[in-house]
Amino acid sequence: MCGIAGYIGEKQALPFLISGLKKLEYRGYDSAGIAIYNEGRIEVRRQVGKIAELERSIRGQVIEGTQGIAHTRWATHGMPSNRNSHPHRDSDGHIAVVHNGIIENYLELRNELEDKGYTFTSETDTEVVPNLIAEYFEGNLLEAVEKAKARLRGSYAAVCMSQQDPDYLVGIRQDSPLIVGYGKDGNYFASDIPALIGHVDRYTVLKNGETAVIDRDGVTIYVDGKAVEPEVMELTMDIDAAEKGGYDHFMLKEIIEQPRALKECLSGRIAYGKRVIDLGELKLDAAKAEKINKIVMVACGTAYHACYVGRYVYEKLLRIPVEVEIASEFRYRDPILDEHTLTIVVSQSGETADTLAALAEAKRKGSHILAITNVWESSIAREAHDVIYTRAGIEIAVASTKAYTTQILAIYLFGLYMAELKGKMIRREIQTIINELYRLPEKVQQIIDDNLDIIKEMADEIAEFEDAFFIGRDLDYVVAREGALKLKEISYIHAEAYAAGELKHGTLALIVDRVPVICLCTQRNLEEKMVSNIKEAQTRNGQIFSICFEGDTLVPAVSEHVCYLPKTLDLLAPILTVIPLQLIAYYASVKRGADVDKPRNLAKSVTVE
């Protein structure tokens, strides 16, 4: 999400800033801007839309200067507009900042700064940063940035410049990537490697909590105010490899990005005032929520599977009926909806034609519409009454991964929001779930760090077969459906998912000749029944691949291959369980020589019926 470029050196800054932003376009954005220092003044130009629109807006203007910062924005706080675009300046225009991430305590800081006379011109969380730096500025930019950084809560990568202390740029990083590039004609900042290719041959990736100062002569990295020796690496990637983050495929990169995407989805959405969950300005208030007596969830493909997780979760938390509908079928059966029905439409792109048509039908019948989507101001976002953005960042591979897990996380957050609004759960119960939600990103990272070898082994075995079966119970069955879809769409292995209790009603006839059976076992109240189902498949010569929690002893006893997950609440298991399934599909596809990122006959966004 978003892109940062910064430069100070001997050359004119503008050409690099524009080219750097263009090399970061793959990350997704809705507006762009630059700030360049020249002869005692910071010149800022911002434009909603593509970088080409920014270029057109400055064509013919003389914007000279050998230091500057630039940004492409993916909107989170405030709609895409010129005034919400970065860079942002303080009230007096002396300090300019570009920022990726979310400042969770921005409202608290904004109120404090407004009381001190600072004015704000945007709806963004970012604008508090230059004003906070200005509040602490006493002639030294680095000192002011360090004091401001100590007040910030949330995720950020930010680069700052000052027209009163103009001889360097300052970068800070917490949970959002920021890279320093070492060049022969100056030094650079960027949020990702592609912006630096062709300009530097060495780079440093900032660590959480570090501050970097770059000037025309060099780079200094600070931790807690003390200079430290950074790890400097050679830049040898070409542009294609760099856009993939050094991974062989976008799909693998996007799987690996999930801990960060989940953090972005969570960021700023947990409150500690009158309410526990803060989802912005939703129109669905307590009065409307009280009248909701049914929820209908509508989507296609992977998003449809996310909705099925929602069905199980909402019925458990809210105790009201939930229907899950395939968008392409929804409007043709004259669905029963009214003003007491909440319709939730889920789409990564926000442009899925069938989901848009379903939205229009539900709206026509008086239902309140909540959209869960990844793309700001997409068609579905514009047409819905309320929107929750997943903040997954751009997803390039056709097979959805981080979009799916952030959709599920958004579904959980809304479920807790509704439970609190309708008085279905007490604050302590909600807080217990939230505490575990906060741990999910690190647990996803643990799965990736600890299990790749066993997952590759499992994938290599499965890749040798033309059929595979996925089984599970309760929420595990829902995730099994997504696992089967992932495997079939990118490896072309015929894969089916079944509720484990249904094996004896026909499916057992297909369990022969060591056929892979992938068994999901995270719903602890159903574990003994699940073990009996696994034995049924094992007795018929199925090859058993199981996924269960650490410390489980029953499931491994009846399995040939086991992938262990860090423990969490059974309710939240789907976000963890799907990670090995995504990786199994990926490595099986690689093993079979398929085109991982662009599987045959499929498109990323289906915009026709």
Q: Name the residues annotated as catalytic.
A: 2, 604
| CA gap 583, 580 in Å, rounded | 5
Pick from 138, 159, 136: which is nearest to 71 by CA? 159
What are the start-end ranges of the E strands in 414-477?
467-472
Cis peptide upstream of residue 335 (ω within 30 degrees of 0): no
Give CA torsion, residues 202, 207, 210, 214, to 10 deg.
20
Crossing angle of helices 573-591 and 475-491, in 10° steps, is: 20
List the 467-472 sheet strands across, edge first: 494-499, 467-472, 516-521, 543-549, 561-565
For residue 156, the 8-state DSSP code is E
CB atoms within 10 A of CB 198: 13
Task: List residues bridging with 323 in a β-sheet.
Answer: 296
The first and second tokens of residue 487, run together, are 């495997």
- SS3 state of residue 434: helix
| CA gap 384, 403 in Å, rounded | 19
> Are the beta carbons of 283 and 385 closer than 8 angstroms?
yes
The CA radius of gyration of the chain, in Å to the nearest whole number, is: 25
CB atoms within 10 A of CB 339: 11
Measured over the CA atoms of residue 475, residue 477, residue 478 and residue 479, the dihedral's sign is positive
Helix (H) or strand (E) holding 345: strand 341-347
The first and second tokens of residue 107, run together, are 């409202």
| CA gap 522, 552 in Å, rounded | 9
